[in-house]
Amino acid sequence: MTIRWGIIGCGDVTEVKSGPGFQKTEHSELVAVMRRQGRLAEDYARRHQVPKWTDDADDLIRDPMVDAVYIATPPAFHKPYTLRCAKAGKPVYVEKPMAMNHAECLEMIKACREARVPLFVAYYRRALPRFLKVKDLIESGAIGQMRAVHVHYLRKPLQRDPQTGQWPWRVVPQISGGGLLLDVGSHTLDILDFLLGPIQAVQGHAANQAGLYPAEDMVTGSFVFASGVQGTGTWCFCAYDTCDRNEIIGSRGKLTFSTFGSEPVVLTTEDGEEAFPFENPRHIQQPLIQTIVDELSGTGTCPSHGESAARTSWVMDQLIRGNAAPG
């Protein structure tokens, strides 16, 4: 059985990270792409040897040759396209963050559940070998009982587009839902959900410190997992330098790793340090795409569904918009 894919929004993320993965994954084929500017869709189809292109999303969704749809647009369009795919009975794979906010996530889950179609989300780190190794080390007891998590992420400020003078859509809340926490921080929060289970309580503070663009550029918070593990996070998007470090601390040691880097995972115990090197795949979404194809074919299970992704959106809502615990 081959799953035939259509892409809505064949922009930058689909050039290397995801698009070729649909072609290289076993029992998977990319058969159609859509972009509102038809000439760009046509160009993408030509360069990537995709048979069909269109500038009309509904044409792609209704196409009987398309079995499943990958939505690779900015977040403002995730919910409406997902609802249209669900209505057409097509499984959906949507980019992260899943939606503009948690409420939209719940609408998407409900629509897909009622239509009896699967809903997957592109938190692809859940299928990468380096994070599977972190999970294996945790579950094997390498650092003992889990105690705490610390997230430390810094980056230099974004710049306006030199040609248009516009800010990237990722920091325009009307399109992205917020700032870079949703675009960047979501990956870390989701992988912590994967490694340690759901977060059940959150306190957060967000601010626009540099005043460069409309969205928040500084977020700090604390959170508690259902397991009792406690965590803190600092995401500064207007810093002097860059830093990407996560620490998971246990009763017998700790694990240190980045969310976006390629440096080794480091296990530290009283016996010393051990490093586990990994090289990310060129088409970084391909391992997760394979799990989706396997689930759609009835031969496996994907680790990133709407329900898990919605939990991450709930956490981000609380970090940005105030303090809360679920009722």
* Tens digit of each residue's pLDDT (9 = 90 or more) over 3-33: 999 999 999 999 999 999 999 999 999 999 9
Is the pLDDT assigned to residue 308 strictly greater than 90? yes
> Is the domain of 112 the same as that of 180?
no
Q: What is the CATH number of the domain that holds 170?
A: 3.30.360.10
Which one-letter amino acid corresponds to residue 48? H
> Is the domain of 143 the same as that of 208?
yes
> Is the domain of 159 the same as that of 41?
no
- Domain closes at, from 97, 124, 151: 124
Whole-angstrom distance, CA of residue 131 vs CA of residue 152: 17
Q: Looking at residue 327, what is its pLDDT?
A: 34
Cβ-based burial of 307 (10 A; exposed 0-12, middle 13-18, buried ≥19): middle
Structure-model confidence comparison of residues 321 and 104, the more confident one? 104
**How many angstroms separate the Cα of 301 from the Cα of each of 85, 128, 129, 227, 251?**
21, 15, 16, 24, 32
User: Are the beta carbons of 7 and 33 closer than 8 angstroms?
Assistant: yes
> Is the domain of 111 the same as that of 150?
no
> Is the domain of 12 the same as that of 79?
yes
Is the pLDDT assigned to residue 208 strictly greater than 70? yes
- Domain closes at, from 79, 94, 124: 124
Over residues 190-210, mean pLDDT: 97
> Is the domain of 117 the same as that of 135?
no
- Domain span at residue 242 reads 127-290+293-321
> Is the domain of 78 the same as that of 133?
no
Whole-angstrom distance, CA of residue 275 vs CA of residue 294: 32
Q: Looking at residue 322, what is its pLDDT?
A: 65
Q: By three-state DSSP, how is residue 196 classified? A: helix
Task: Name the domain count of the chain.
Answer: 2
> Is the domain of 140 the same as that of 116?
no
Q: Looking at residue 18, what is its pLDDT?
A: 97
Is the pLDDT assigned to residue 323 strictly greater than 60? no
Question: Does residue 326 belong to any structural domain of this protein?
Answer: no
